[in-house]
Amino acid sequence: MDLPEPYPQFDRFQIRFRPVGERKSKFRIDDIAVDPDAPPPDPGRAGGEIAALAAEMRRARERRAPVILCHGAHLIKNGLAPLLIRLVEEGWLTHVATNGAGSIHDWEFAFLGRSTEDVRANVAVGEFGIWEETGAYLGLALLLGALEGIGYGEAVGKLIAEDRLSVPAREELRRRAQASVEGGASGQEGAAAALDLLFLMDQGKVQAGELAIPHPWKHRSIQARCYLKRVPFTVHPGIGQDIIYSHPLLAGGAVGQAALADFLIYAQAIRGLEGGVYLSVGSSVMSPMIFEKSLSMARNVLRQQGKTLEDFTIAVNDLAAVDWDWSKGEPPVDNPAYYVRFMKSFSRMGGKLSYMGLDNRVFLENLYCRLRA
């Protein structure tokens, strides 16, 4: 039986990319970066809940239990990286997680000092996300990270912190690929990255050697700071959802390997959440989805050991106006709050749950103020 013809695929090599420095960006990091030492704005009715959360985080730190922050991209676009850096430096956060866009904006701010484009205007002329350095440097960082066996967030953090990428010579890449074939399963993932790099070299898109990539605003990058402090920063992307997927240096195998590594690093952190705190800020889809899968995985293994995972706090911050008291459990189906999908997911996880509906800047600035008091 003859195999059917494969479906046609878009050829990314046909795209004409532009230098990201030519792009008009909406935000300059030096204009939007928050001052962690400035007095916070009034949190309104959420003040008491924020104070209670700060007390939970103190208890978690005393117990040496995890405090995990999972956030959406708007937190970075709102200039909160300096505050996250302070929380990491002072030991309040043991793990930071975000989506693909959160990682990209953090990198662009570190590299260019600005980020965020006019989607409507640039899609109209076929230039939305079509930026050479963003796609090429992040794609190459993920390929080299896959070659080393490290995760997505660590690969990008390393790029920012070290200001360079080191591409092995062809002979070394061939050796690594061949060693995997001869050695069996061990090293196969690194071999896939080696083969992808060899293909890109054949296409004239990548050259062996040191590639200097300065990041003048690296002091504003939470990914770089986590890399240097050895605090896990994990990235949980969706294929095709971020602008870097336009670029041919973005290899699917490398993304898959890096993202899976980060999911398993995150799941291991959730496994140790007993007595800890989980902060979900501005992430109504990714955060509850990866949390519920990881919690189920953790409980599966812990039950085999005669252990439980029930004593933890989940604090959710988003802009949605929700009047239901989630500490009472899931609302009835005739209550509009029942259809706030992300809170419904979290309400089914156990532990102690609270929701604070306010701007993430107001939330985090007040939380940090309470923690340092």
Q: Per residue in 262-299, pLDDT tens?
A: 999 999 999 999 999 999 999 999 999 999 999 999 99
Query: Residue 24: is its pLDDT beyond 80?
Result: yes
The pLDDT > 90 percentage for the chain reads: 88
pLDDT of res. 326:
83
SS (H, E, C) the chain: CCCCCCCCCCCHHHCCCECHHHCCCCEEHHHHCCCCCCCCCCCHHHHHHHHHHHHHHHHHHHHCCCEEEEECHHHHHCCCHHHHHHHHHCCCCCEEEECHHHHHHHHHHHHHCEECCCHHHHHHCCCCCCEHHHHHHHHHHHHHHHHHCCCHHHHHHHHHHHCEEEECCHHHHHHHHHHHHHHCCCCHHHHHHHHHHHHHHHCCCCCCEEEECCCCCHHHCHHHHHHHHCCCEEECCCCCCCHHHHCCCCCHHHHHHHHHHHHHHHHHHHHCCCCCEEEEECCCCHHHHHHHHHHHHHHHHHHHCCCCCCCCEEEEEECCCCCCCHHHCCCCCCCHHHHCHHHHHHHCCCCEEEEEECCHHHHHHHHHHHHHC
2 in a domain, yes or no? Answer: no
Identify the band that residue 324 occupies on the pLDDT scale cut at 50, 70 and 90: confident
pLDDT of res. 321:
84
Q: Per residue in 217-229, pLDDT tens?
A: 999 999 999 999 9
5 in a domain, yes or no? Answer: no
Mean pLDDT for 141-156 is 97
21 in a domain, yes or no? Answer: no
pLDDT of res. 183:
64
pTM of the model: 0.95
10 in a domain, yes or no? Answer: no
Q: What is the CATH number of the domain that holds 163?
A: 3.40.50.10690
- The number of domains in the chain is 1
Mean pLDDT for 147-159 is 97
| Structural domain boundaries enclosing 330 | 44-372
Q: Per residue in 92-137, pLDDT tens?
A: 999 999 999 999 999 999 999 999 999 999 999 999 999 999 999 9
pLDDT of res. 187:
55
Query: Residue 186: is its pLDDT beyond 60?
Result: no
Identify the band that residue 77 occupies on the pLDDT scale cut at 50, 70 and 90: very high
pLDDT of res. 73:
97
Comparing 330 with 39, which gets the higher pLDDT?
Answer: 39
125 in a domain, yes or no? Answer: yes
232 in a domain, yes or no? Answer: yes
281 in a domain, yes or no? Answer: yes
Identify the band that residue 357 occupies on the pLDDT scale cut at 50, 70 and 90: very high
151 in a domain, yes or no? Answer: yes
pLDDT of res. 338:
87
